[in-house]
Every structure is written in structure tokens, then in C-alpha cells.
Structure 1
Amino acid sequence: MNDFSRPQAGRREWAGLAVLILPTLLLSIDMSVLHLAVPSLTEDLRPTGAQLLWISDIYGFLIAGFLITMGTLGDRIGRRRLLLLGGVAFAAASVLAAYATTPLLLILARALLGVAGATLMPSTLSLISNMFLDPRQRTKAVSLWMTGFTGGMVVGPLVGGLLLEWFWWGAVFLLNVPVMVVLLVAGPLLLPEYRAPGAGRVDLVSVVLSLGAVLPTIYGVKEFAANGLSWPSVLAVVAGLVLGTVFIRRQRLLADPLLDLGLFANRQVSACLGTLMLVTLLGPGLSLLTGQYLQLAEGLSPLAAGMWMVPMTAAVIVGFVITPRLAGRFRPAHVIVGGLALAVLGMVLLAQVEGTGGLAYVVVGQSLFFAGSSPLVVLGIDMVVGAAPPERSGSAAALSETGQEFSAALGLAVLGSLSAVVYRTSFTAPADLDGAAAETARGTFGGAFAVAADQPAEVAAVLLADARAAFTDGLAVAAVASVVILLAAAVLVVTALRHLPPLGSPATADTGHAEAPST
């Protein structure tokens, strides 16, 4: 079929795309903006190491846990309606997070933000697939959508730096409120409503099983990060895996499953999802570690740290702009692997950071990583949406987002836990510190700075030097682990996608159709 036989999107659709990018941008900013707020948040609320990990991670985990459910709910009640309801809930949870007075209250607010965020994510991409029926326009729209999502993770530190320069840490959450107001006003005017015809009922047992698979696994990882390997952490992970197995088996038996497992039978979909999950695992965790390094080890203000992350924004923009052009001349697998090679180089540079004086390594290394990941983000999402059968395009969108959100949140836990273990192992407390102060300093990098503020100058200098050395040891280990993961992703791409021709060739003609709008 000729690509140009499909209806072409007009001005209203492109204006609607700008509206859809707004919540996507905010969701990714919320995953990254907190990184720069960690030092001031730690000083104000004094969370434990485990509580700090929960504050950082629970948002992404609950988004991942509820995405499939919310995607199915959107099919029933309307995707635009769910998007707008989620916008109201997201704004309310943001206000609660901004004025949280205890670590537990902030964890609760972040959890509510995650549930509300899960209503926004599947609605945006599924609406794009409905609004842009022409494959070439869809590819461009998905590229812009992912520019908003991925760019938000990079712009987040800059926005956070500006806010933290003048306001308290809670201001980073209040940013969400005016943006959601714009969504609520413009959404009904520019976005059409879509409902899946003949959709069945939501299987509540599957919803419970999906959450039961995710949350115990999270708890096990947190327990390991805070207290090391123990029976509670092992049992929690095992329970999560068992419930996940039961969930998968139930989906195979249902006539209208919560998660359509048939999508995994498509080799292209499976390979793209797997590769996206591997690489998405790295970005948020690395941003968390480098954000702490810039502020604590290098002594930069939040604004200065955010400004030094601007090159990452430029790298992502360049990557998204040139990827469609490169993929039109070379095979997608070659473009993706070339980008991953650039990302590996960035991680090698990041592993060279020692103590202080590593600013250039951090900036260049992170910029290479984000630039190298851009081709995978653009082409992977587009191939997943384009390869899915017409009746499963919504499931493919939700599945893609679920994998990436879960992987991003898991990456915060895994890389954060890995670096924390190395930090605690490498850190040596000065002999002049009492037991409680030494334990606080050994718990987190930020805790060492809080303890140092109450010590004599000579003791503080020794304490901070040891803390910086231990933290950069953890950063180097996280970078080396990232290299291994990137190489595994490259092997998967070459194995499963090398047969795909350049974009625009006859063999890449789209066969999917979007469903008709509801009336």
C-alpha cells in the first residue's frame, strides 16, 4: 500500500501533539528533577538510606505497575477522558509532595504521583497512533513525543537547578500544576476522544496480580540496598516472581486479557522492547549519581550543576534530529548499534572520575551516553508501534511504556543500590567520629556532608575526602556495569533486527491501522 494513501494529519492534529507532549515532558522531568533536590531534601527531612531510595524510586515503579491497567481502563472510558482525569490527580499529588513534612508523607505523595502518571502515559502514545494514520507522519510524531519524554529527563536538572537556586526543594513539584492546567484547558479543544469498540471488562484479579508481582520485587531490592542480603529481601523477590508467573498464565487463559502476550510472538516487537528496557535501565540511575557528584563532590550550586547538564540536552536534540535521516540511508540495526558504541565510550569516560576534578569526564561522558541512546529511543518505539497488528496498537503502546518505566525505576534501584554498597564498603570513618555520626556518614554520601557540618575543620576535611573517594568508587562501578548492559543491548539488536532495511524502502511499509474515533 502506498504510504500516502493514508489520511494526512492537519494543523489540529499537530497542535494536539504539542498538548500530548506536555504531560509526557512533566512525567520525565519528575523522574529527574528530584536528583538535584536530594541534598537539600536530605538535610531538611533527614530520611534514612532506605527512605531516600523509596522517595526516588516508588514514583517510577508505580507508574510501571499501573500502566497496563490504566491503558485498558482508557479503552473502556475513553483515552482523552482518562488523560484529563489523570491531569487533575497529578496536579493534586504534586501539591501534596511540595508541602510534605516527613519522609513518609513524601513517599506517599510520590506514590500518588506514580498512580496518576500511569493514567497519562498510555493515553498519550495511543492517541498519537489514532491521530496520525500516515506512517511517515506517525514516525515524526513519535520522534517528537520521545523528544519530550527523554528531553525532560535531561532538562529536569536544569529546571530543578533554577528552582532550587531561589526556592525550597518542594518547588520542583509545584511546576507541575500550571502545566496540568494548560492540559485541562487545551485537551478538550484539540484532542479527539477514542474508545476501543467491543472492549471487555477489566479483570481485577489480573490488576492485583500485576501489582503483587511488582511491589514485592521492589521491596526486596530496597531491603538489599539498605541492609544487604537477607531472608526478607530474598523471599520478597521470590514472591514477586511467583505472582508474576501466575499473572502471565492467567493472561493466556483470558478471552480479554489485561496484557496481550501475543505481542511477544513478534520478533521485532520483542527485540525492540528488550533493548529499550536494557538501555532505559541506565539513564535515571546515572543521572541520580552524577547529580550528587556535581553538587557534593564538586561543590556546585543546584543552578550551576543544572547548567553543566545543558550539553546533554543538546546531545539528545542532535540525536533525535539526525536519527530519521540516518535510518533512511542505513539499516536501523546499524544506526542503533553505532549509537550504542558512542554510549559505551561515554561510560568509559565516566568510569575515570576520581574524588574531585572529574567535571569534564561527567559532562562529556553523560552527553555521549544520551546522544548514543537517541537512535534506539526513536527507532525502537516507532518499530514497536508500527509492527503491532491494528487491533493491538494500544496494547503495544502500553507495553512499550510499561517496560521503559519499570526499567527506568529499576535502574534507579539497581545502580543506586550498587553504588551504595560500594560506598559503604569503601568508606572509612575518621577515628574522631562517634558511632552514631560514623554510621550516618557511612549510610549516604549526603549524610557524610550533613555530619561534616557539625565537625571541626580538620575532621570534616578528612571525612569529606574519604566520602568523595568512596562515592566515586561507586560511580565507577556503576559505569562499568552500564558498559556491560550496553554491549548486551547491541548484541540483541544485531541478532534480531539486522534484516530490517532502511526506513522508507518498500519492505518497511506500514500495515497497521488506527481504530476509528468514538462518536
Structure 2
Amino acid sequence: MAIHTSSTHRAGRREWTALAVLMLPVLLVSVDNTVLSFALPEISRELRPTGQQLMWIVDLYALMLAGLLIAMGSLGDRIGRRRMLVGGSIGFGVASVVAAFSTTPEMLIAGRALLGFFGASLMPSTLSLIRNIFDDARDRRTAIAAWAAMFSGGAVLGPVLGGYLLEHFWWGSVFLINVPLIVLFVPSALATIPESRDPSPGPFDPLSILLSLVAMVPLVFAIKHGASHGLDDTTVTALVLGLAAGWLFVRRQRHSASPMLDLTLFRNPVFSGALAANALSLMALAGFLYFGAQLLQLVLGLSPLESALVLVPGSIATMVAGFVAVRIVERVPPRTLVPLSFGLSASGYALAAFTGHPTVVSVAVAFTILGIGIGLAETITNDLILSSVPPQKAGAASAISETAYEIGAVLGTAVLGSVLTATFRSHLTIPSVARFGEQENAFETLGSTMEFAERFSAPVQGWIHASAASAFDLGVQYTAGAAIFVALAAAWVSRRTLRNS
């Protein structure tokens, strides 16, 4: 693997201060990826979304990020990366208020879409600015490790913050935590972060942006719709539309003199393998949080704050493992360490799948093991991505890396969430007396099922609670089993692709 370095001055107080400020938008975007986890039961009870709407509430934010990151990165190259960060953060604050005060599932979905749109304007510039701020290679590696730790730490901090807020306030408060961070970030960014832009960018390509969105949205919809309705006409249509748009997007990039996405980067197996590892590590995290939050609250009976505290050891383990990886990789090659990290992730899921009925302790231990694997993988793969391309390609490489993060988050809830939902619905048994009074979407999710059961007397209520808990428990086992297979496959792929790293 070729490592591209520069021999220039070491970073001083101004550079490290700028890095601290850059961590704020990273924290905003990563926290919002997972902050809804512990609010899902309350959202299910108050807004009564369908199973598909609930997954769209979770997925659409990451979907918009994944579809727009490269486009926003291209725009930032033209108008200035710091300007993009500041403008995007203000829009992110406005979208947070819209989401916080949503009164219908549709309004919340729209708010999450706006958050994804403005979030996409924040993320692509962070790694590119790090490359511009830190000239010394050793300083830059440390800064990249901090970036990865903040992203993974923010992803697990989201449920902790959400759990505390839900213990004291209404569910919309989980979005309002963005506002004070934005108020702090805007003046700090203007004071400490130097402006940078591409001196000779290619033409902006709106058609490529449209094609990338048309490719991703139908594909994710096909996965989720197919899980609950099978391979019907809607699933097939969405799948064909997404694949066709994806083919047109790739074809346009190949024939463009100034492509929005430089496909030649993917010819490097180290680059491609590291990207796959990034996506799959976030897929594991998002999938675990999707079912873990509901399991801890609705089956094991913990409050939102208590549920969040169960994940604190895993949160700490993820962040510590990210920094430790910088030292370990000096002695253990990435081709060994990255597959090992996926082996740890598989072990965490195995604990959730094969230890019988889950307990608070088993969930905490499983998430800690999973967190160690994710922390190791993210730091190493981000370093591989940026060091395996020439310096002039760093901007494109960072945008693609962040896109892989968001695709992984989408797949975590779309694929693993669909397995969980399909298993729950197919194994849930409801007595006929409850079916007689059934309302629309009453038994779509665990939260709505538990809420609807409160309308009946003790015998019927107990029957529904027991059946729902049993069906959800089985769904967790099936979902964890699917995640084990994905993690082991990822270990094999990374071992093959990173052999020269």
C-alpha cells in the first residue's frame, strides 16, 4: 500500500483548536444517525406509524446523507468548504426544530429528510479540511483517528443522550440537542477554520445528483417492502428502477471528463475493501441499536435512561478501541486486524442470538464486544482509504468514505430491521377478541402492539404481551443470526482485499 505523506511543519494550537471545532459537525451528524433509537417506542405510541413508516423515520436521514454526500462535497469544492459547513449547520438547526415538533409520521419523515439534506452539506468537508489543516503526516493520522472516534462515539452517544432526555422530556427533545451545538459551532468555525476550495473544479453535474438519489431510494424501499410483502409488483418495480438509475449513474461517470464520482479509485482493492469494511461496521451498529432499544424498554421493562446506560460500556469501548487501533496497527497488519474486528462483531451478535432469553447483562456485554470490533475497524479503514489514494484525490476519497458510513447505517435498519419486523409479524398470535377491536397498524410494531394491549382486561392483555415478547425475542435471534453471517462474510472479504495493505 502506498502511503502518501508530506514533510512540513507540525501542528500548533491553532490547528488542534480547528480540529476540535470540526468535531462538532461530525458529532451532530453521527448522533442524529442513532439518537432516535430509544425514542422509537414513544413515537410508535404517540404518532402510530406503520412498520414501514417507522423504518423510514429511521432510514431516511441516512439515505439522504448517502445520496447527497458526494454532490455536496462537489459543491463545497466550488463555493468553499468552510462556507458549506456554516450554511449547512444553520439549515440543520432549522430542520431539527421541524422534526422536534412533528405531529404526524409524515411530518417527522419530512423533518428527517431535511436533516439528511443539510447533514450531507456538513460531512464531506470535514476530512478534506483535515487534510488541508494538518500538513504533517503524523499529525494528520492522529486527527483522522480522532475523527473516526468521534463518529463512532457520536453514534453510540446518541442513544445515551436520547435516553436521558426521554426520561425528563417528550420525544421531540432528542432533536433539540442539535441547537446549542450549532450555536457554538458557527462563530467558532468562522474564527478558527481556514477556508479552502478546489482551485480548478470540473463542472457541477445536476443529472448525476438526480441519478444517485433515484438509484438509492428505490433500492432501499425494495428491501424494506420486500421483507413484509414479498417479491410483489411494487418490490420488483422499485428494484428495477433503482438498478437502472444506478447503471446510468455509473455509465455517466465513466464517460464524463470531470465525473462527480471518480470510479478509478475503486480499482485499488485496498480502497474498495476498506470502504466495504466501513459500511458493514456501521450496518452492525445500526442493526443492533434498532432492536436493542426496543428489547431493553419493551421486553425487559427498562426506562429510556436505564436502557441508554446499559450501552455506556459499549460506547466507551468503541471510542477507546479507535485510538488503541493506531498503536496496534504498528505491530499487527490491517489484513489481520480488520478481519479480527469483524470476528469480534460476530461474537457480539452470537451472544445475543444463542444465550437464550436476552438479559440486561447479556445485551451490555454483547454491545461492548461489538463496539470494540467497530472501533478497531473504523479507525484502520479510514486511514487505509486516505493513504491508499494520492493527495489530490483525498477530497473524493473522504466523500466516498462517508457515503459508505451512511449506506451501512441504512442497510443496518433496512435489512436487519426488515428481518426483525417480518419475524415479529409472522410469529405474533393475537386472540380473536383482540382482533375484533383491532385498529389499523395496531400490530405492525412491538411498541404499537404493547400499547394496543392496554385496552383489554388482564387475561387478554397478558396473552398479547407474552406473544409479542416471544415473537420479538425470536426476531432478535433471527436478526442476530443474519448479522453473524454478514460479519463473517465481511471478515473473509477484508482478508482478501487488504492482503497488500
TM-score of the pair, normalised by structure 2: 0.97
The answer to whether structure 1 residue 180 and structure 2 residue 182 are counterparts is yes
CA contact (8 A) 2:284 2:345 kept: no
Mapped to 1, the partners of 2:20 and 2:373 lie a distance apart of: 25
**CA deviation map 1:361-410 (0-9, x unaligned):** 21111110110121210010111011111221100000111111122112
The answer to whether structure 1 residue 204 and structure 2 residue 212 are counterparts is no
Q: Secondary structure at the match of 1:468?
A: helix
The answer to whether structure 1 residue 228 and structure 2 residue 217 are counterparts is no
Superposed, 1:377-396 pairs within 5 Å as 377-396=378-397
What do you get for the CA RMSD once the two structures are aligned?
1.6
2:215 corresponds, among 213, 216, 231, to: 213
Structure 2 match to 1:507? none
State the Cα distance separating 1:442 from its structure 2 match. 3.2
Q: Secondary structure at the match of 2:202?
A: coil
Structure 2 match to 1:254? 256
State the Cα distance separating 1:321 from its structure 2 match. 2.7
Structure 2 match to 1:371? 372
Q: Secondary structure at the match of 2:102?
A: coil
Which one-letter code corresponds to 1:215 in the other structure? V
Structure 1 match to 2:481? 480
Mapped to 2, the partners of 1:321 and 1:389 lie a distance apart of: 24
Q: Structure 1 pair 330/189, CA: closer, same or farther in 2 (3 Å)?
A: same
CA contact (8 A) 1:440 1:451 kept: no
Structure 1 match to 2:405? 404
Which one-letter code corresponds to 1:466 in the other structure? S
Mapped to 2, the partners of 1:4 and 1:393 lie a distance apart of: 14
Which one-letter code corresponds to 1:39 in the other structure? P
State the Cα distance separating 1:197 from its structure 2 match. 1.2
Mapped to 2, the partners of 1:293 and 1:411 lie a distance apart of: 16
CA contact (8 A) 1:340 1:486 kept: yes
Q: Secondary structure at the match of 2:171?
A: coil
Structure 1 match to 2:329? 327
The answer to whether structure 1 residue 88 and structure 2 residue 95 are counterparts is no
Q: Secondary structure at the match of 2:194?
A: coil
**CA deviation map 1:177-217 (0-9, x unaligned):** 11011110100111011111111221111111111111221
Mapped to 2, the partners of 1:377 and 1:101 lie a distance apart of: 37
CA contact (8 A) 1:277 1:403 kept: yes
Structure 2 match to 1:70? 72
Structure 1 match to 2:415? 414
The answer to whether structure 1 residue 151 and structure 2 residue 153 are counterparts is yes
Structure 1 match to 2:360? 359
Superposed, 1:15-94 pairs within 5 Å as 15-94=17-96
Superposed, 1:136-147 pairs within 5 Å as 136-147=138-149
Q: Structure 1 pair 142/431, CA: closer, same or farther in 2 (3 Å)?
A: same
Structure 2 match to 1:132? 134
CA contact (8 A) 2:76 2:125 kept: yes
Mapped to 2, the partners of 1:410 and 1:339 lie a distance apart of: 19
Structure 2 match to 1:508? none
Structure 1 match to 2:497? 496
Mapped to 1, the partners of 2:458 and 2:94 lie a distance apart of: 44
CA contact (8 A) 2:63 2:406 kept: yes
Relative to structure 2, which stretch is displaced further, 76-85 or 480-489? Answer: 480-489
Structure 2 match to 1:510? none
CA contact (8 A) 1:429 1:438 kept: no
Q: Structure 1 pair 237/3, CA: closer, same or farther in 2 (3 Å)?
A: closer
State the Cα distance separating 1:437 from its structure 2 match. 2.4
Mapped to 1, the partners of 2:312 and 2:140 lie a distance apart of: 28
State the Cα distance separating 1:349 from its structure 2 match. 0.3
Which one-letter code corresponds to 1:395 in the other structure? A
Structure 1 match to 2:460? 459
**CA deviation map 1:34-62 (0-9, x unaligned):** 01001111111111111111111100000
Superposed, 1:437-448 pairs within 5 Å as 437=438, 440-448=441-449
Relative to structure 2, which stretch is displaced further, 167-176 or 268-277? Answer: 268-277
Which one-letter code corresponds to 1:382 in the other structure? D
Structure 2 match to 1:516? none
CA contact (8 A) 1:291 1:305 kept: yes
Which one-letter code corresponds to 2:265 in the other structure? L
2:116 corresponds, among 109, 114, 117, to: 114
State the Cα distance separating 1:161 from its structure 2 match. 0.9
Mapped to 2, the partners of 1:174 and 1:438 lie a distance apart of: 32
Which one-letter code corresponds to 2:242 in the other structure? G
State the Cα distance separating 1:338 from its structure 2 match. 2.3
Mapped to 2, the partners of 1:33 and 1:260 lie a distance apart of: 33
Q: Secondary structure at the match of 1:443?
A: coil
Mapped to 2, the partners of 1:390 and 1:148 lie a distance apart of: 23
TM-score of the pair, normalised by structure 1: 0.93
State the Cα distance separating 1:475 from its structure 2 match. 0.9
